[in-house]
Amino acid sequence: MNDVVRLTYPEPGIAVVAMEERTYRNTFSKALIEGLMRAFDQIDRNPTVKVVVLHGYDNYFCCGGTKEELINIYEGKIKFTDLAFYRLLLDCEVPTISAMQGHALGGGLAFGCYADMMVMAEESLYSANFMKYGFTPGMGSTYIIPRKFGALLGNELLFSANNYHGGVLRERGIPAQVVTKREVITTALALARDLADKSLVSLKLLKAHLTQSIKAELPAIIEQELAMHEVSFAQPEVRNRIETLFGG
């Protein structure tokens, strides 16, 4: 991989992808994106892998776009679809588990939600914080977050852009497992062991079946989100909010 993404195979049938972009706190740096794409390419070519566990480091699972990326979108230089990695968990042929041991913010939360299963931490923060910056959500989050959290809570996450502790989300009835931070990865690995015992052919068939509606409906959502970005990113206040919230 590279220095910020580690791919290991701790047990038969299980691949673990660790995101450790310490310089940019697991935001979508070039190194993190390239490392993730290489890791999943290796996984796709490994016929022994039956399940993938994805986690971050310390207090960070994945924290969305960098300041440079958001400014480049504001200036019309890139679109979030240029960062095509956000579908890696969805497009992986075998089941995936997001072990969100740390904070998951904005695009980082959306990215994690494309996994087939999620384990979250009581103490960590989860936020669809796009609107805090003044622009509408992207990366398919207007679709995948309500799908995973439920329509009402998903809408609240998207509109409010507030931070929610995992313990609060558990009280709100989210279907994901919520455990203490120190238990997240071990819980995800225990779940992965259950899957690693199953037939690879059947796992792939079931993954394809369970994700077919997402794959069919997502492209139209992405186009609609891009259209909203053309309007919402054109507001002068967006650049000011990005500069302020990133501290400069």
- pLDDT, one tens digit per residue, over 19-62 is 999 999 999 999 999 999 999 999 999 999 999 999 999 999 99
Annotated active-site residue 55? The verdict is no
DSSP assignments along the chain, one per residue = -BTTEEEEEEETTEEEEEE--TTTTTS--HHHHHHHHHHHHHHHT-TT--EEEEE-BTTEEE----HHHHHHHHTTS--GGGSGGGGHHHH-SS-EEEEE-SEEETHHHHHHHTSSEEEEESSSEEE-GGGGGTS---TTHHHHHHHHH-HHHHHHHHHH---EEHHHHHHTT-SSEEE-GGGHHHHHHHHHHHHHTS-HHHHHHHHHHHHHHHHHHHHHHHHHHHHHHHHHTTSHHHHHHHHHHTT-
Dihedral in degrees, nearest 10, Cα atoms 237, 243, 246, 248: -150
pLDDT at res. 38:
97
Q: Are 96 and 51 in contact (CB under 8 A)?
A: yes
Query: What pLDDT is stored for residue 84 in this prediction?
Result: 78
247 falls in which pLDDT band (50, 70, 90)?
A: confident
Mean local confidence (pLDDT), 1-23 = 96
Q: Write down the CATH number for the domain with range 5-181.
A: 3.90.226.10
High-pLDDT (> 70) share of the chain, %? 99
Share of the chain above pLDDT 90, in %: 97
Of the pLDDT bands very low, low, confident and very high (cuts 50, 70, 90), residue 248 is low
Euclidean distance between CA atoms 5 and 78, whole angstroms: 24
Question: 2 pLDDT band (50/70/90 cuts)?
Answer: confident
- Tens-digit pLDDT profile for residues 191-229: 999 999 999 999 999 999 999 999 999 999 999 999 999
**Residue ranges per domain, the chain?**
5-181
How large is the average pLDDT for residues 138-154? 98
What is the rounded average pLDDT of the residues 153-165?
99
Give yes or no for residue 131 having a pLDDT over 80. Answer: yes
What pLDDT does residue 114 have?
99
For residues 59-70, average pLDDT: 96
Please state the pTM of the whole predicted model: 0.97
pLDDT (mean) for 73-99: 95
Catalytic residue chosen out of the listed positions 55, 103, 209, 229? 229
- Predicted local confidence at residue 35, as pLDDT: 97
Q: Is 119:100 a contact under the CB 8 Å cutoff?
A: yes
